[in-house]
Amino acid sequence: MKPLLNFIQKFEPKKENKVAHTLYDAVFTFAFAPNETTHGGTHIKDGMDLKRLMVHVVIALQFCYIFGSWNIGHQHFLALGEHTGLLDALHLKFFYGIMKLLPLFIVANVVGLGIEIWYAAKRGHSVEEGYLVTGALIPLIMPPDLPLWILVVAIAFAVIIGKEAFGGTGMNIWNIALLTRVFIFFAYPTTISGDEVWISGIEKIDASYFGAAYGWVYGLADGLFGALGWSTFGDGGKAVIDGYTGATPLALAYQGGWDAVTAQYSVSSMIWGTIPGSIGETSKIMVVLGMVFLMITRVADWRIIVSLIFGAAFMGMVLNAWGATPFMDVPWYHHFTIGSLLFAAAFMATDPVTAAATGTGKWIYGFMIGVLGVIIRVMNPAYPEGWMLAILFMNMFAPLLDHYVLEANVSRRARRAAAKA
């Protein structure tokens, strides 16, 4: 490592060039700092810093990235009636999915980190590490064909107004990834809601016909795949099969309850994630693997995750007992198999900056997200999912929860001291 360290240090720009030096510092500290372990009687025995903490979250998200890449392609070919088996044409499905996911990932990180580097240079600070997770989360909560210019505008809004205006990482009130999504939802709702946005590569021509087209990149890939004797993008027809719909289980649940959901999707397909939806949230198996990894490494606080699950289950049971609408009759335990409940619990609600910081506050914070999320998803016809709004709402109240928890602790200790006096 020493020769590599010396080599990279040769390229360090002068500090007078603020933007270039800030960019260099971000890359250098990501690769090499910290480089020591603690010694003595402390309980900390490694060189963990905020960058390393954020990298753990990015690693946990790779389960969702791998599956999401495949599912983008799988849903695309299902709509065309081609390669409908789960293991059919894996090379085409992964290639197609990566080609859709990669631009979202590049734009999310280049735009967001570019803004953060500019602000850090102006302030004379190092680049904050929080965006490592934000840049990895944003592509996973988007539809695969979201116009990139819309993503640019949304990220700029979320980072500048929602983060830098408050002072940067550690000072923001709201989760930046969710703020990006909520901006798109309210500013450009047709690009992130409805039945058609979740299936990639489908261009609507009229009410009964869809067409799909591939670009030159896929033509180059066909040359390689064809030389290997594999199936190619040029094989088969390009019209969506008659009667195909990209409706998500949540949309079906609102329209006709659990019977409408199971008429189109099996429970196993919803658990494994072979359904339309946001890129990273469909596979509950992959989300749970990431969740377990974060809890084992203690990067995510298990109290928030567990309390959120209890809150969602509680409200699901209450609505089951009420039963006023078809969606209310969806069994409470199936709220965990449809939508992004588990993804929100693992990767969104546990954001250490915007969540409650006290132990008791975390229990209340997670429980209320679970309750509010189910209420919004079941009772809001315009938005049959609730976790984005529930988490952003509770982000605002997290400091208040911590304040009252601390005040209660102070009062209890004061009474205890007075009683002993």
Neighbouring C-beta atoms of residue 374, cutoff 10 Å: 28
Q: Mind giving me the DSSP string for 183-208?
A: HHHHHSGGGTSSSSTTSTT-EE-SSS
Omega within 30 of 0 (cis) for the link into 34: yes
Cross-strand partners of 204: 210
Per-residue pLDDT of the chain (421 residues; tens, 9 = 90+): 567 666 666 666 766 665 665 666 666 666 665 555 555 444 444 455 566 677 889 999 999 999 999 999 999 999 888 899 999 999 999 999 999 999 999 999 999 999 988 888 887 777 767 788 999 999 999 999 999 999 999 999 999 999 988 888 778 899 999 999 999 999 999 999 888 889 988 765 444 444 556 778 888 999 999 999 999 988 765 666 666 778 899 989 988 999 999 999 999 999 999 999 999 999 999 999 999 999 999 899 999 999 999 999 999 999 999 999 999 999 999 999 999 999 999 999 999 889 999 999 999 999 999 999 999 999 987 776 889 999 999 999 999 999 999 999 999 999 888 888 7
If residue 117 lies in a helix (H) or strand (E), which one and from where to where?
A: helix 90-123
Q: Is the dihedral of CA 30, 31, 34, 37 positive or negative?
A: positive
Q: Please state, in angstroms and rounded to a whole number, the distance separating the CA atoms of residues 177 and 171.
A: 15
Non-local (6+) Cβ contacts of 229 within 8 A are none
- Note the pLDDT tens digit of each residue in 381-395: 777 688 999 999 999
Q: Which pair of tokens denotes residue 121?
A: 């240079």
The amino acid at residue 142 is M
Looking from the CA of 184 toward its CB, the CA atoms found within 13 Å total 26
Predicted pLDDT at 273: 96
Predicted pLDDT at 264: 93
Predicted pLDDT at 42: 44
The amino acid at residue 408 is A
Q: What is the DSSP letter of 63?
A: H
Looking from the CA of 395 toward its CB, the CA atoms found within 13 Å total 24
